[in-house]
A and B are shown apart, each in its own frame.
Chain A
Amino acid sequence: MDALKAGLVLFVACLLQLSVLTEYEAFRSASIVLVALLSIALLRGSVFGAVAGFATGLLLDTATLGTLGVTSLLMTLAGFWIGRYGETTARDRFHAPYLSVAVVTLLYAFGQLLLQFMLGQPAPAGAAVHALPGALLLNLLLTLPVYALARRLFPPAELGDRVREVRLLG
């Protein structure tokens, strides 16, 4: 069920990215797909994040006729890493989604540049660096609603268990 919900959320995020965000130059550096993926990975773990990232990347590359695998590779690694972060240290921490999005936005931009460079395609580092502050800001703004939605759709179920660990006496 989680896989179906994640698929639907990421599919809609891809459509929004392709149809809305890229229409406006000001929002082009934002990535609602990346934010949605990281939110889901944070809540559902590393393997789930990696698989979701791979599928999402493949979808984006297919829709834009990009080099297949490039976005998949980056999103697989992003989903896995943030999923692992969620599994190990970031359970229920308020700053976790924001920190994850900020760090991955930076690494994703540099990873994309590196891959473009290795494939012999234009990799204007100046433009990428110039766009980074905007990308960071927009992605962090998107994190608030997207993570809230992801949290509703993928509730961290261990919270209920944890309450039962404390018994009040007297």
Chain B
Amino acid sequence: MPRNRTVRIAVLGSSVQRAAPYGFPSGRSSAIKRRIVVGCLVLLSLVLITVSFRSSALDGVQGVGATVLRPFEIAADRVTRPFRDTVGWFQGLVNAKDENAKLKAQVAQLQQQQIQYASALEENVQLRADLNYQAPPKVADFGKVNAEVVANPQSVIEDTITIWAGSSNGVENGDVVVEPTGNPDGTGALIGTVTRVTNDVSRVTLLTDNESAVTATDLSDPSVIGSVRPGSGSSLILDRVPKQPAVRVGDTIITAGSLGQGPLKSLYPRGIPIGTVTSQSNNDANLFQNIAVQPFVDLSSIQSVIVLTPKKSD
């Protein structure tokens, strides 16, 4: 008995022509053409790397490119600012209570210290004038260029930021970069140094970069001289500090200025705060103290900076 069932048969390609390949323009290209294009691009990249790395011939072009991109980046920043502010507001709200209590205690402590420091400062100024004392340069001896950060580090292995200030603003290679604060002199903790300059944009290498080293001292004991270098993660280490005198946890580490050992003077003016000592230990295998320092600045997210530029002597 035949089955009374409708049969639907799918016939593949019986009378239908397969459509011409479409959608991958490069699919039509021959393998040779494809290889030539990619080979040329790779070669061009290598040439760019070589020229950019070995000379400053492309710096001008790169600077112009960065300047052209600036309006777009500003526009993107303005568009996204409300969202970021909202996120920041909620983050701030979570920590506000704890932070408020800590800050109140800190304000009370600082008020006491400020009175003592004001007295000491007055005495210090008077004694320096009497002795005609020649001191290393301080932050006040430098010009200040305020700059907005264009781009924070692009990946975890990069410790550089890009800022909107360049040679047209008086910024030069090696200039010291600090954070802006509400202090009377406007400058805060150390961020890094300028390592690349174009007309309008500069690149700043952060303290956490592996090639960074800053001669530093302990604020409460100037006889402690060492070198601040990157530690693990976002922390720093104060290296090459002999075992005596011992550094204490909680001490503030500042730049030592030109008091560092060796014939070359430090790039950094004296007295820029770097961070707080979070741990200190000694062991027999190491000639120096093991000192961990937590930087004052959150180097992972910086909004604006101040570049300290040498004042031109007329």
Contact = CB atoms under 8 A, between A and B. Distances in A.
B202 A65 contact: yes
Interface of A: 2, 11, 15-20, 22-25, 28-29, 43-48, 50-51, 53-54, 57-70, 72-73, 76-77, 80, 83, 86-87, 112-113, 115-116, 119, 122-124, 127-128, 130-131, 156-158, 161-162, 164-170
Given A18-B73, A46-B38, A76-B38, A60 B27 contact: no
A23 B10 contact: no
B12 A166 contact: yes
Interface string B7-32: 11111111110110111111101000
Contact of A16 (B42, B76, B203): B76
A136 B245 CA distance: 47
A161 B16 CA distance: 11
Contact of B41 (A67, A76, A87, A167): A76
Contacts of B223: none
Contacts, number: 200
Interface of B: 6-16, 18-19, 21-27, 29, 33-34, 37-38, 41-42, 44-53, 58, 62, 65-66, 69, 72-73, 76-77, 80, 83-84, 87, 150-157, 159-160, 162, 196, 198, 201-203, 209-211, 233, 300-301
21 contacts: A19-B73, A20-B80, A22-B152, A44-B24, A47-B33, A63-B66, A63-B150, A64-B151, A65-B198, A65-B203, A69-B44, A70-B45, A70-B49, A116-B157, A122-B210, A165-B13, A165-B18, A166-B11, A167-B11, A168-B9, A169-B8
Given A44-B24, A47-B29, A127-B157, A69 B65 contact: no
Given A46-B38, A119-B53, A64 B162 contact: yes
Contacts of A130: 156
Contacts of B26: 44-48, 83, 87
Given A51-B41, A83-B26, A168-B8, A28 B300 contact: yes
B9 to A, nearest CB: 5
B301 A25 contact: yes
A46 B25 CA distance: 9
Interface of B is mostly: mixed
Interface core residue of A58, A73, A116, A128 (most chain B CB under 10 Å): A73
Contact of B6 (A11, A28, A72, A170): A170
A102 to B, nearest CB: 17
Given A29-B155, A68-B48, A124-B157, A48 B7 contact: no
Contacts of A127: 156-157, 233
A80 B39 CA distance: 11
B154 A64 contact: yes
Given A15-B73, A16-B76, A65-B202, A122 B159 contact: yes
B27 A45 contact: yes
